[in-house]
Amino acid sequence: MSELDTRRFVARDRNWQPKGYTPDYKTTIARSPSQALVSIPQSLSETTGPDFTHLKMGKYDNDLLLNFNHGGLPVGERVIMCGRVIDQYGNPVPHTLVEMWQANAGGRYRHKNDSYLAPLDPNFGGVGRTLTDANGYYYYFRTIKPGPYPWRNGPNEWRPSHIHVSISGPSISTKLITQMYFEGDPLIPKCPIVRTIANPDAVETLIGRLDLSSNVPMDCLAYRFNIVLRGQRQTRFENQ
């Protein structure tokens, strides 16, 4: 990216981004700011690095079918998640770290605070990582399609099947955490988290699309999930 591109300012579309306070998504009541945000000038440490080019990846870091193997394969529908990371101007974000975590096929996370009655899978850890290449592509995660699960936002509300994704971007200040949903899931429009996004086109950017050209025949269906980072001044107080 050129210096001109990194310094160029594009105003955030407030109709595209979800509001910080959305009572139907109950945790926003406590989490949303009660006072005006304060703009803090960024130093060189926030606008550069980290450099992942020397990060040594494990053989199965991106293969969740094998990276927690305890004598067998995990239960569930085998899928591949693949795509590209670009910035808001369409430029690739190369050599950046993409991390993901998810529930198992029954909808349960391998986490001490998850008490959902679905059983843990002894051969599924639910976490993976990979690096983008020079053109911004993260080639794939091979995994199990996560199951939906109930949550305490309401008396009978369920999260759609989803995979959490963390992308570091070109610097600490461009880190993004998001979720990928699966094309065709009827729970997507019913989810209170999804409904915080007013623009239907914005919701579509969170949905992984079935990509038959990237399937592994007789093994895995593939879903393509491309990710766009805003780049500099991406926070909610960017126009101050």
* Residues with a known catalytic role: 109, 149, 159, 162, 164
Smallest Cα–Cα separation from 147: which of 196, 187, 97? Answer: 187
Q: 176-188 in b/e burial notation, b at 16+ Cβ within 10 A?
A: eeebbbbeebebb
Smallest Cα–Cα separation from 214: which of 58, 72, 84? Answer: 84
State both tokens at 82.
């693949």
Instruction: Tell me the C-alpha distance between 51 and 170, whole Å.
Output: 8
Question: Using DSSP, how many helices (H) and how many strands (E) does the chain show?
Answer: 4, 11
State both tokens at 111.
């986490």
Q: 118-155 in b/e burial notation, b at 16+ Cβ within 10 A?
A: bebbebbbbbbbbbbeeebbbebbbbbbbbbbeeeeee
Smallest Cα–Cα separation from 61: which of 140, 161, 123? Answer: 140
Which backbone phi and psi does 220 adopt, to 5 degrees? -135, 140
